[in-house]
Structure formats: C-alpha cells, structure tokens
A = this chain, B = another copy of it.
Amino acid sequence: MPGGAANLNSFLSQVEPRGDHVGLRAHQRFRQGNAGYDLIAVIDGALAIEATLPNGRRQILEFLLPGDIVTMASLLFPSPLPAVSIRAMTEASAVCLNHRAAAQCIREDYWEMLLAQTQVQLARANAHRLMIGHLDSTSRVASFLLSFALRTCGASQSNLHFALPMSRDDIADYLAMNSDTLSRIMMRFEAMTLIRRLNRHEVSVDDINALKRFTPIAPLLSMMFDRTRPPLAN
C-alpha cells in the first residue's frame, strides 16, 4: 500500500476539467454549506482547515498547499459544533468536486491514490498530536519552522528561505498556544541566530541543525515533510 504519489498529476488533470474551479481571496472563508463538495484539490495559494469551538477557541488542523487533496468525510462535517471551515491564507484557487462528480471521474485506480493521500494526512495528524500533546512550546515552534522549511524548500537546499503565508495567530492556533508566547519564542530563536525574520511573512533558517536540536521529533518531520526526499519511500 505504498504512496501512489507518482500519479498525483494525472489525477489532477483528470479532475480539473470536471470540477468547479473556486477562487478565494486572502482571508476569505470557504464553508461547506456552499455546495456540498466532497473533495477539494488545492491548485494554488495556501489554505487552512480550522475548527472553532463553542468556547471561542480555534484550532487550525492543517495548512494546505498546492497538491494537497482533502476529502470532506475526513473533516468533522457534518457537525454544527464545532464549526469546521476552510479559510484562505493568501489568494488561492482550488478544484472542488461534489459526490456525483467524484464518483464519475475517479477511476478505479485512483481509489488507491486517494487512500494514500488520506493516509499521509492521518500520519501528519499523528505527528501533530505528538506536538501539541507532549512537546513544550519551544519544541513546538521549532517543529513547525522545521516542517515548513522542509515542506517548501526541501532539506537539500543550502539557504532555507521561505514564506510563512499565515498570520502569527494562525500559527499559534495550529500549535495550540497563544501568539504572545509564539512571538517570544521566535524572538529568542532570532537572538540565537537560528533564524532571521526578513519580514512578517518571510523567514530564513540559518542554522537548521541547531533548530533540529530543539525538537525531539526532527527525524520524523524530515521523513514526513522533506519534499526532496522520495515520498513514503522506505
């Protein structure tokens, strides 16, 4: 049951002509109520899956980047509370399928690919549970920075210089801490010259090995997010 990531592109090209193309502006919310979509494939930009609890707290479950595919069944739909929605971090576009369209265009051999995608997301959710369950906030921030660097640059790059398209509050809600604490920790990392904050939404990791020493799950994150590594191989 290894990843069928190789045919992700063929899947997308299959899906793209039959689905609805949805464009979102930054900060715009995409509620399921819209059209009862069952499957969303991110084409461009950055999105986040977030749940808002009745007590007002917000948890961001996942940041979605181009190539990610989400099925609604794996979210908390159809639940009135907590309200789950997808929100655009930046201007973004996605292809959406409802149940009928998905049934039509998902050929037999794509089930396996869709399963692989969902398994990857479950594995990420597991890593995330370790982070918010049993790491202190410094380790959580280090883990986040590391995974985002690996996800967008890959480990082979010498200069890890990447965009954080979301706000500090979004990151804090992903890491289950508050943005004050997050800010303090990022300042500390900069003072230690592990990172440089080029501006609000751009970071450069100057000492990735030192950063790795701050998180006990570094090997896990490397395996899971490094895009220059063959996906799921060994």
- A residues near B (Cβ < 8 Å) are 1-3, 38-39, 51, 53-55, 57-59, 61, 71-76, 78-82, 99, 102, 108, 111-112, 114-116, 118-123, 125-130, 132-135, 176, 216-217, 219-220, 223-224, 232, 234
Copy number in this complex? 2
Q: Which residues of B sit under 8 angstroms from A39, Cβ to Cβ?
A: 1
Determine whether the beta carbon of B123 is less than 8 Å from that of A75. yes
Q: Given contacts A122-B118, A216-B53, is CB(A134)–CB(B59) below 8 Å?
A: yes
Q: Which residues of B sit under 8 angstroms from A133, Cβ to Cβ?
A: 59, 132, 176
Q: Which residues of B sit under 8 angstroms from A130, Cβ to Cβ?
A: 51, 53, 59, 82
15 A-B Cβ contacts within 8 A? Answer: A51-B130, A53-B130, A53-B217, A58-B134, A73-B232, A74-B126, A76-B123, A76-B126, A76-B127, A81-B217, A114-B115, A121-B122, A122-B125, A132-B176, A134-B176
Residue of B nearest to A53 (CB): B216
